[in-house]
Chain A
Amino acid sequence: MPLLELQINGVSRRLDVDPERSLLSVLRDDLDLTGAKYGCGEGQCGACTVLVDDRPTRSCLTKVASVAGRPLITIEGLERSGQLHPVQKAFAEADAMQCGYCTPGMIMESVALLRRQADPAAPEIVHALEGHICRCGTYDRIVRAVRRAAEATKGGTG
């Protein structure tokens, strides 16, 4: 099999994998990047969300070959020299989680939203996150966390 080159969190990785496999399985099983979660395998829950070219992408439905050479960001790539990303910080401070299993996907989707739109109103956040499930029901807190991150990064970069 030809080697695939993936650009993950700023690092280039060459992998000998079946190009038909899902990006999620390669991240988790081959690269031990387990922040992106399996929740449904059909793009319904959003737990597997990563950024491809800055776009939120369901890694469970994405063939690994289709993202070769494109910049990928996972939850593990948000921290910068020990500093949490403002969205991560806001989720922690707003206690926008219970079991936390959906949290990485929620954070990645929110990071993408704030990159497109620096100051989204609550209905816009709801719209952007509608494809994510939090079975613990912390939806309200997640909306508040995203608002908090938007406030914190006003005038800055997200």
Chain B
Amino acid sequence: MSGAPPPSGDRLTLEPERYELAAGPAYRFDVDRREFVKLLGGGLVVMVAAAAAPAQESGARGGGAGSPPREIAAWLHVAADGTVTAYTGKVEFGQDIRTSLTQAVADELRAPLPSIRLVMGDTDLTPFDQGTFGSRTTPFMAAQLRQVAAAARETLLDLAVAKWSVDRSALDAREGEVVHAPSGRALRFGELTQGQALVRTVAADPSPTPVSRWTVAGRSIPKVNARDIVTGRHRYTSDLTRPGLWHGRVLRPPAIGATLVSLDASGVDTKRVSVVHDGDFVGVSAPTAAEAALAAGQLKADWKTSPQPSDGQIFEYLKKTPPETRDGDGRGAGAQVSGSVAQARAAAPLRLEQSYTVAYIAHAPLEPRAALAEWRDGKLTVWTGTQRPFGVRTELAEAFRLSEEKVRVIVPDTGAGYGGKHTGEAAIEAARLARAAGHPVKLVWTREEEFAWAYFRPAGVIDVKSGARADGTLTAWEFHTYNCGASGIRTPYDVANQTVQFHPVRSPLRQGSYRALAATANHFARETHMDEVARAAGVDALEMRRRNLKDARVRAVLDAAAERFGWPPSRTPARGYGLAAGTEKGSYLATGAEVSIEPGGGVRVRRLVTAFECGAVVNPDHLRNQVEGAMVQGLGGALFEAVRFEDGLITTDRFSRYRVPRFSDVPELDVVLVDRPDLPSAGAGETPLVCVAPAIGNAIFDATGTRLRSLPLVPSGLPK
């Protein structure tokens, strides 16, 4: 790639995000659709072939070469009683997509919202899906469900034409009925199917309802299952039970990288407890969780540990560790180069060079990893909270040498993930224990296990060199990101001479996806550096960004945020103000932060204003909720969240040692939604996070003159 100009399109093609796009499954067995349809009974089934589905969603196997798989992208069932069931492989983790996707179906089908049920993330029932991540549900899955719902509506209209022998143009579908206005006749959708089992497969025809005709989508509708949540009735994985259920417990190694030398289980009452020792895996299960915990404590294991880096040395470690090679595919190996950074810098009156770092942080979803596994007649069923139900099915099939049709993964709406639940370790552990016990086994990770043995948002180092004219106009930009990822690595500012490179590194800690991925780190480095250039040039932070920005969508959110924030702010003692802007995953945003410096050196964030644009808004209140939530989550990583580790031990292994934002940390939050009904909707669960840290860091500099270049910024107050 070296020497090629940066792509002019929206997406940087350095590499797909390495921490999200796991390889597709080796085998994919078609669900027997005749069997499936029989299960549904009478009514109308409509399936949309996946041919037109975006490649990311249809999950072309083995890296995307070849023709698209012959697959069904989405399906929907209209029962004789009018109940509509739509099936999607996406899962609900708090993004409120159960609601927004239901809205999309209601809109296209013209059916009342309460008549629609969504079956999500069940590998036996729902179409294959690569996973719920990357802010792709709204742009892609909503479009697929709209297609299948539109096809169902058209089929129902066809049925009415045949039944009444009337002109199709005189028919209208609305509120779950087909209405023939001239004669005043109307039939419910379910009645039109007349108890037959009708199956239609339609080629994808992407002519969804234009935003101007949305009736249900585009409005704020409360969470469709809010009642189940507020009554405690909703069953998360950790709440499930089965007849004859046993409880599992896994024996964890004393440190990362430790291997098991020997195990003595003689202290365990094996008449009551099942013990599994399989390679480095040691676990127990018993009729009660208390017995399982007791038994785990009676195991005597001897582990061999190896030297591991500690958090104090992590950044030098990441810089000096040789680049990781990746299966010879070269991704991440090359730099994106345009012009000559060296020449441009040599000629630039302003030259800056700085290094920025971000710590590992933990997702810490409030529901820790959990799984309930049950073996019956050679088939394995696992309920588990994962963002990749089909990926976890593959993991299980491989772990137990089963064909995928013998494995079913069901994902109940889950107690959050933020990118932290892509993997199936709890599912595999529960299944291994259940197979040995001859009982269904539920395994709920403890909080300590979740903090120590899940994976983390990667730590990283970002080196930036810039050159600018005296008025702050950038002429050179060199940006190297080590380890933490390529998301958001490309600058939205116009700079003629650029070198941008991502350097993958073998991380000493297990790392993976995290809400917004490396876009947080890369935005932190870039937007902090932009502030440094502006200060060096003596140009206002807003003006400096505008001066370097052609992208109209970034400019629009920057201006919207600045206006709401009141930029330039009037000076107040011990207060500081900062700005940041950017774009990622098709969304555009700018954040303004106000901080106060408290007596004793504490930093308090007083106000965050985020202007956010993600195309056409589907559910304004839920969008607002996502933007607010992302700002609060971003606040934790900006100010104080960091995973600490020493000799292979995670020392921040509980909430009393790992601080997360609480009620009193929350500043005044102001969200400006820039609605663009003329543009396709992009996902919004992640990106609103990415400008929080640089805006706060820039505000701290404004207040104190101290430039902070590491996240978290102030884990224990301002540096003395």
* A contacts, CB < 8 Å to B: 18, 21, 25, 28-29, 32-42, 44-45, 47, 74-76, 78-79, 84, 88-89, 91-93, 95, 97-104, 107, 125-127, 129-130, 132-143
Q: Which 8 pairs across A and B sit closest by C-beta, in order of nearness?
A: A35-B232, A137-B632, A99-B94, A101-B415, A98-B94, A34-B239, A100-B229, A75-B232
Q: Are A136 and B222 in contact (CB under 8 A)?
A: no
Q: Could you count the A-B residue pairs with CB atoms below 8 Å apart for me: how many are there? A: 169
Q: Are A137 and B628 in contact (CB under 8 A)?
A: yes
14 contacts between A and B (CB under 8 A): A29-B247, A33-B232, A34-B238, A78-B231, A89-B230, A99-B93, A99-B366, A101-B366, A103-B230, A127-B664, A133-B662, A134-B366, A137-B628, A137-B635
When distances are taken between beta carbons in the complex, the residues of chain A under 8 Å from B235 are 34
Q: Are A95 and B622 in contact (CB under 8 A)?
A: yes
User: CA–CA, A40 to B446, complex, Å?
Assistant: 7
Among B231, B289, B656, the residue within 8 A (CB) of A44 is: B656
- In the complex, chain B residues 347-372 whose Cβ is within 8 Å of any chain A Cβ: 364-368
A40-B447, A130-B664, A140-B628 known; A91 and B367 CB under 8 Å? Answer: no
When distances are taken between beta carbons in the complex, the residues of chain A under 8 Å from B232 are 33-36, 74-76, 104
User: CA–CA, A142 to B662, complex, Å?
Assistant: 12
Q: Are B94 and A133 in contact (CB under 8 A)?
A: no
When distances are taken between beta carbons in the complex, the residues of chain B under 8 Å from A136 are 94, 416, 629, 633
Chain A residue with Cβ nearest B367: A101
Q: Are A95 and B655 in contact (CB under 8 A)?
A: no
Among A84, A95, A99, the residue within 8 A (CB) of B231 is: A84
Q: Are A98 and B222 in contact (CB under 8 A)?
A: no
User: CA–CA, A100 to B99, complex, Å?
Assistant: 14
A75-B232, A91-B230 known; A135 and B365 CB under 8 Å? Answer: yes
Extra contacts, 6 of them, besides A38-B444, A104-B232, A132-B662 (Cβ < 8 A), are: A40-B447, A95-B622, A97-B226, A107-B230, A137-B633, A141-B628
Q: Are A100 and B625 in contact (CB under 8 A)?
A: no
When distances are taken between beta carbons in the complex, the residues of chain A under 8 Å from B413 are 99-100
When distances are taken between beta carbons in the complex, the residues of chain A under 8 Å from B621 are 95
Tell me how far the C-beta of A4 lies from the nearest C-beta in chain B, rounded to whole angstroms: 15
User: CA–CA, A93 to B443, complex, Å?
Assistant: 34
When distances are taken between beta carbons in the complex, the residues of chain B under 8 Å from A129 are 663
Chain A residue with Cβ nearest B293: A25
Q: Is there a chain A Cβ closer than 8 Å to B223's Cβ?
A: yes
Tell me how far the C-beta of B114 lies from the nearest C-beta in chain A, rounded to whole angstroms: 15
Tell me how far the C-beta of B643 lies from the nearest C-beta in chain A, rounded to whole angstroms: 15
User: CA–CA, A128 to B45, complex, Å?
Assistant: 51
When distances are taken between beta carbons in the complex, the residues of chain B under 8 Å from A45 are 366, 655
When distances are taken between beta carbons in the complex, the residues of chain A under 8 Å from B265 are none
When distances are taken between beta carbons in the complex, the residues of chain B under 8 Å from A127 are 664
Q: Are B290 and A18 in contact (CB under 8 A)?
A: yes
Q: Are B662 and A130 in contact (CB under 8 A)?
A: yes
User: CA–CA, A78 to B227, complex, Å?
Assistant: 12
User: CA–CA, A141 to B96, complex, Å?
Assistant: 15
Among B222, B365, B444, the residue within 8 A (CB) of A99 is: B365
User: CA–CA, A149 to B474, complex, Å?
Assistant: 53
User: CA–CA, A38 to B366, complex, Å?
Assistant: 8
User: CA–CA, A107 to B612, complex, Å?
Assistant: 30
- In the complex, chain B residues 632-688 whose Cβ is within 8 Å of any chain A Cβ: 632-633, 635, 654-656, 660-664, 666, 669
Q: Name the residue among A92, A135, A139 with the largest chain B CB count within 10 angstroms.
A: A135
User: CA–CA, A130 to B625, complex, Å?
Assistant: 20
Among A39, A76, A92, A101, the residue within 8 A (CB) of B222 is: A92
Q: Name the residue among B622, B626, B666 with the largest chain A CB count within 10 angstroms.
A: B666
Q: Are B629 and A137 in contact (CB under 8 A)?
A: yes
User: CA–CA, A74 to B630, complex, Å?
Assistant: 30
Tell me how far the C-beta of B417 lies from the nearest C-beta in chain A, rounded to whole angstroms: 8
Q: Is there a chain A Cβ closer than 8 Å to B414's Cβ?
A: yes
User: CA–CA, A125 to B666, complex, Å?
Assistant: 13
Chain B residue with Cβ nearest A28: B239
